[in-house]
Amino acid sequence: MKTSQVATFGSWKSPITSDLIVSKTIGIGGIAINNEDIYWLEKRPQEKGRSSIVACFGDKPKAMATRRGIKNITPPGLSVRTKVHEYGGGAYAVAQDTLYFSNYADGRIYQQVLDRQPQPLTNKIHQRYADIVVDSHRNRLICVCEDREQQDAEAKNILVTIDLITGKIQTLVEGDDFYSSPRLSRDGKQLAWLSWNHPHMPWDSTYLWVANLNDAGVIDRPKLVAGGEEESICEPKWSNDGRLYFSSDRTNWWNLYRRNINGSIEILHQMAAEFAYPHWVFGLSTYGFIGGDRLICTYSADGSWHLGMIDLTTKQLETIKTRYTNISDLQASESGFVVFVGGTPTETSAVVKLDLDNRKEQILKRTGDLTIDPGYLALPEAIAFPTADDLTAHGWYYPPTNQDYSAPTDELPPLIVKSHGGPTAAASVDLNLRVQYWTSRGFGYLDVNYGGSIGYGRQYRQRLDGKWGIVDVEDCVNGAKYLVDRVQVDGDRLVITGSSAGGYTTLAALTFRDTFKAGASYYGVSDLEILAKDTHKFESRYLDRLIGKYPEDKAIYQERSPIYHVQQLNCPVIFFQGLEDKVVPPNQAEMMFSSIKEKGLPAAYVAFEQEAHGFRIADNIKKALDSEFYFYSQIFGFEPAEAIEPIEIINLK
């Protein structure tokens, strides 16, 4: 039996290195099914974050060699990604042997017949496109268009058609601030779509519309069929029999509904679970149809995702047992199989094909072709802990785990508290090597689902209304204190980290509370007032609900902005920032760093060219991860087991 080496927490040598993470892993998503062929997107840090369409072609005896097995479709030099709403999604569609996709560099739609080179279909570089739907009845595309022709004005969002022969663009629907999810009925005679308006976000308030399409494809008699000021509608989809299905949170939970031919609406299966995600990006999919009598879906309960089947006649739900705790991008085939991205706490996420009749599973592609000994992997523990106002908050705790090491008996581990982005998002429990990077070196890690997170109903999401910078901070603080009280972590070595909105929570917790001893902000917000005045259209009124109206509530914005209260911050902070970020511009990090530096506190600022909101380039991901680790080693005084390239830490004594 192997004897573990005794070493202080933080100094454990781990096989989960930053090089392993960036060289062996990719991102996957955006699944589409075309007959028996399966497509997905791969985001490749090794190719400077380029996104490429990949296909797994079905078994066709007469198919040419290029149509067998798994093949890369997108040629080098092109990246399948859209910047609509800055977050993108829904960047491609496939019909027969042709793909239609948005290219990231120029925003144009390209048309690619398989086995040929892509050709540009549109030429207006001031327009961006997303949520692409092929209208084969009229030889055109229907999609969301974000028009940015007026440089000094807010972008204009509309639904448009694009002629597949001429590339001519025509407006189909306009008048609202935002649109998403144009969905064509199977016979091509009806179109459904979602819209919403400032100051709402799509998880707060959306409207579901249905209209007839005449022979020329023009909208006729649009009708509002669901939604409202306090109802979020997601994912409209048409079944073969002409009924419209969608998710609504009108009963607190995003449950599935259907609109019958006579116009009546009924809930499909009522359950205290979420059958949808917040629509930060286009093209999300959590359900599909199998034949004419079954609906396959994924739903979230108690923080984990499950696979289910609903009989469309009896409306009974059957849970399909799988090992997956995170299921996304679900697409169904009429022939009886489903494809999704599945993740577990111990395996890299994968594109999974599941035959629903015999329950036979096939892994088509993993995010990483690597095997890690389970002895180095920390398993998540669901925790529920008391927080402010006699409420309960949730999180996932990962203990320090490395089969080669143990710590001195009188030492407790440092804790990293993660505040997820969004803030309307959630912590996931599928294998995240960036989490394991920390736990295998001797850190505890708490991923907090603070009030405002998804997965616990609309009321839990609304805890953050008017209280961003308060509820999220309280929950992160109380989660850390909960583990300290249980004598699981060292109360003198508590760290908080987060990106984007999570970066704001990080800076607010460090400024307004004295619980944490260090922090790392990834493109986080330091000045809410500047964010309200200087961000993109999609989120330009987000803070109305989270903070208050601007400028009417200017005092509240300043009261909760860390930049105005640096005198209260008394611990080291490291900042990471993409210099091309349009969501949270670099000045947010630069102002805070400058103020902390002038105060004499240890601080570091690591900026990356060619990075926007979220890092995609392998070298930058590696540098950020290692730099954060180096920063903590210098602050807490432990020696890393491996050599790390130093960074400059201002005021380090």
Residue 160 structure tokens: 């448009």
- How far is residue 553's CA from residue 539's CA, in Å, rounded to a whole number? 17
pLDDT tens digits, one per residue of 161-207 = 999 999 999 999 999 999 999 999 999 999 999 999 999 999 999 99
Question: How does pLDDT run across 544-591, given as a tens digit for each residue?
Answer: 999 999 999 999 999 999 999 999 999 999 999 999 998 888 999 999
DSSP-derived secondary structure for 34-87: ETTEEEEEEEEGGGTTEEEEEEEE---TT--GGGSEEEE-SPTT--B---TTTT
Q: What is the pLDDT of residue 371?
A: 85
Do 647 and 19 form a contact (C-beta atoms < 8 A)? no
Q: For residue 599, is it left (φ>0), alpha (ψ between -120 and 50) or beta?
A: alpha
Q: Taking 80 as the threshold, does the pLDDT of residue 151 lie above it? A: no
pLDDT tens for residues 530-551? 989 888 899 999 999 999 999 9
Query: CA angle at residue 459 from 228 to 486, to 5 degrees?
Result: 160
3-state secondary structure of 471: helix
- Residue spans of beta strands (DSSP E) within 312-424: 317-320, 326-332, 337-343, 350-355, 361-366, 381-387, 391-398, 405-406, 415-419
Digit-coded pLDDT (tens) for 433-452: 999 999 999 999 999 999 99
pLDDT tens across 294-303, in order? Answer: 999 999 998 8
Over 90: is that where the pLDDT of 4 sits? no
The Cβ of residue 568 has, within 10 Å, a number of other Cβ atoms equal to 12
CA 219 to each of CA 141, 196, 208: distance values in angstroms, whole numbers, following the listed order: 15, 19, 15
Which residues lie closer than 8 Å to 24 by C-beta, 6 or more apart? 368, 369, 370
Q: How far apart are CA 141 and CA 122, in angstroms?
A: 11
Query: What distance in Å separates the CA atoms of residue 330 and residue 307, rounded to the nearest whole number?
Result: 10
Residue 133 CA to residue 147 CA, distance in Å, equals 18
Task: Say if residue 144's pLDDT is above 90.
Answer: yes
Q: How far apart are CA 510 and CA 458, in angstroms?
A: 28
Residue 649, pLDDT score = 98
Q: In this predicted model, what pLDDT tens digit does every residue of 351-361 receive, in sequence order?
A: 999 999 899 99
Supply the mean pLDDT for the chain.
Answer: 95
What the block records as the tokens of 142 is 């229907």
Q: Tell me the mean pLDDT in the region 216-232.
A: 95
Compute the distance between CA of residue 533 and CA of residue 527 in angstroms, rounded to an integer.
Answer: 10
Which candidate, 93, 91, 53, places its Cα nearest to that of 73?
53
Average pLDDT over residues 282-286: 97
User: For residue range 113-133, what is the model confidence (pLDDT) as tens digits?
Assistant: 999 999 999 998 889 999 999
Mean pLDDT over residues 55-67, rounded?
72
Taking only Cα atoms into account, the Rg of the chain, rounded to an integer number of angstroms, comes to: 25
Cis peptide bond upstream of 423, omega within 30: yes
Q: CB neighbours (10 Å) of residue 305?
A: 26
pTM: predicted TM-score of the whole model, two decimal places: 0.93
Model confidence at 61: pLDDT above 60: no
Band (pLDDT 50/70/90 cuts) for residue 370 is confident
Residue 372 structure tokens: 């890690």
Q: Which domains does the chain have, with CATH numbers?
A: 5-17+372-636 (3.40.50.1820), 39-285 (2.130.10.10)
**Helices (runs of H) and strands (runs of E) counted in the chain:** 10, 38
CB 80 within 8 Å of CB 129: no
Indicate the pLDDT class of residue 653, thresholds 50, 70 and 90: confident
Residue with tokens 């069929």: 225
Residue 480 to residue 475: CA distance in whole angstroms:
9
Assess whether pLDDT exceeds 90 at residue 149.
no
User: 499 pairs with which residues across the strands?
Assistant: 522
Of the candidates 399, 401, 397, 451, the residue with the CA atom closest to the CA atom of residue 426: 451
